[in-house]
Amino acid sequence: MTRHFFYIVMLTMMLNIILNVPMVLVQDRFHGSIISIVISIIIGSLFIFLFIIGMSRFPKKGLPEIFHEKFPAYIRNPYLVFLGIMWMASGTFALVSYSYVVKLYLNPEMNLLLILGFLLFIIIFGASKKTDSILYLTEIIIVIAAPMVAFILFKAITSKFFYFDHIKRMGHFIWQIPSYSSISAATYIFIGYINLAIVNRFIDSRKLIKVLWTLPIIGIFVLCSTFFIPMGFLGVNGVNDVVFPWIFITDSLRMEFGFIERVLYLTLCLYLLLVLLFGIITWHIGLKLLEGVFIGKNTSAKTNIKREKLFTFVFLIGMGVLTLILQAITNQRQFFYIVKLWLNIRFPAEFMLVVLVYLISRRQKA
């Protein structure tokens, strides 16, 4: 099951090639984005390393169980709820962003809320499944999608309309003081490891440590492609003209001998798959974190299962409604502002969690 952890981390990386992260980085491209990419790779790798070392001291245990042992309820429960909501928000934002993409490119005449509602329906359906089922699902989708993402990247880099000179021009903006938001956005691509909080129940995380060195390398590659490739097509100024630079530039690509001629539609369908999967995973993990609040309040087994199911659906549908409301009351600009704000809050929250887990794991050994 160890590989499933990598799939999730890969998924978040692939997904953030096109969503939300490039938005912030592109905005700050003259104000230290490049250096923040470098910094974020160091920070991101450190976080992953500490978190995995921490979790590996608690074999076959999820975060709720660990907290249950270590903290009293009045600290544990609010924190678990906070983490759960934070984590679900991450999926929600990806989903809402993508609903704009769908509206723009695939179903231009359909109501935005209807599109989002449909995506939410699928996510709620998927997130209510068992954790190990979701891991199998991840594997299947990543095995299908990863080669295609690689193909699109390859297509982009070898395109005639990809000007390397534009990227070289950015070289003049390396030595800038990075802004906080660009660092917190860039570290976001590594966020997939947080799933270990629940997935640790199924994964022997000690085995992960040996192969961890691959993640920073993939991270560099992903961050560079997310930031630089659109620039190679659109120029350093033009890249800020479009809302979704990555999706825009795939429309410059053509598969001369493909069944579908326009790479754009391949990208759209592929990323729809990935976004839905990401949504399912984040919502599921969020749900499990929240369920952790109720650990130890077991009643009889049968009513418990029924109650758990009811709670799952009520909670997920409630979150779905909240997402719809968020979609309804904001416009695209406001929404992106909220995402940016959230990215900024997420960074210290992530830091706190990693340090906390690491510290209690130290005490565990002693």
Residues 238-257 that bind another protein (CB under 8 A): 238, 241-242, 248-249, 251-254, 256
Between the CA of residue 46 and those of 179, 198, 350, what are the distances in Å? 20, 20, 12
213: its two tokens: 């060195």
> Is 285 a binder of another protein (CB under 8 A)?
no
Is-contact 279 119, C-beta < 8 A?
yes
Q: Which is nearer to another protein, 38 or 122 (CB)?
A: 122
The DSSP-derived string for 43-74 is HHHHHHHHHHHHHHTSTT--HHHHHHHHS-HH
Interface map 77-116 toward another protein (x if CB under 8 A)? -------------------------x-xxxxxxxx--xx-
Torsion angles phi and psi, residue 50, rounded to 5: -60, -45
Q: Which helix or strand (DSSP H or E) is residue 351 part of?
A: helix 332-365
C-alpha span between 332 and 154 (Å, rounded): 31
CA angle 239, 245, 250 (to 5 degrees): 120
176 contacts another protein (rule: CB under 8 A): no
Instruction: Kindly state the DSSP code that residue 240 receives in the 8-state scheme.
Output: T
Which of 37, 249 has the CB closer to another protein? 249
Out of 73, 217, 260, 352, the residue judged to bind another protein by CB under 8 A: 260
Of 130-169, binders to another protein (CB under 8 A) are 130, 132-134, 136-137, 139-141, 143, 160-161, 163, 165-166, 168-169
* Of 189, 275, 182, 172, nearest in space to 226 by CA: 189
* From 117-125, 209-217, 314-322, 333-341, span contacting another protein (CB under 8 A): 117-125
235, 311, 326, 330: which one binds another protein (CB under 8 A) = 235
The nearest distance, CB 354 to another protein, in angstroms, is: 30
Q: Closest CB to another protein among 130 and 333?
A: 130
324 is an interface residue for another protein by CB under 8 A: no
Kindly tell me which of 226 and 267 has the beta carbon lying closer to another protein. Answer: 267
Question: Of the two residues 47 and 271, which places its CB atom closer to another protein in the complex?
Answer: 271
Phi-psi sector, 255: left (phi>0), alpha (psi -120 to 50), beta: beta
Residue 276 engages another protein in binding (rule: CB under 8 A): yes
**Rounded-to-integer distance, Cα 40 and Cα 251, Å:** 29
Q: Is 281 in the site for another protein (CB under 8 A)?
A: no
Give the residue, chosen from 31, 129, 206, 340, that forms a contact with another protein under the rule CB under 8 A.
Answer: 129
Q: d(Cα 264, Cα 178) in Å, to the nearest integer?
A: 32
Q: What is the enclosing helix (H) or strand (E) of 276?
A: helix 263-291
- Residue 243 CA to residue 257 CA, distance in Å, equals 29
Residue with tokens 């179903």: 107
Does 212 engage in binding with another protein (CB under 8 A)? no
Radius of gyration of the chain (CA): 20
Q: Which is nearer to another protein, 49 or 100 (CB)?
A: 100
Does 126 help bind another protein (rule: CB under 8 A)? yes
Binding positions for another protein, rule: CB under 8 A? 102, 104-111, 114-115, 118-119, 121-122, 125-126, 129-130, 132-134, 136-137, 139-141, 143, 160-161, 163, 165-166, 168-169, 171-172, 233-238, 241-242, 248-249, 251-254, 256, 260-262, 264-265, 268-269, 272-273, 276-277, 280
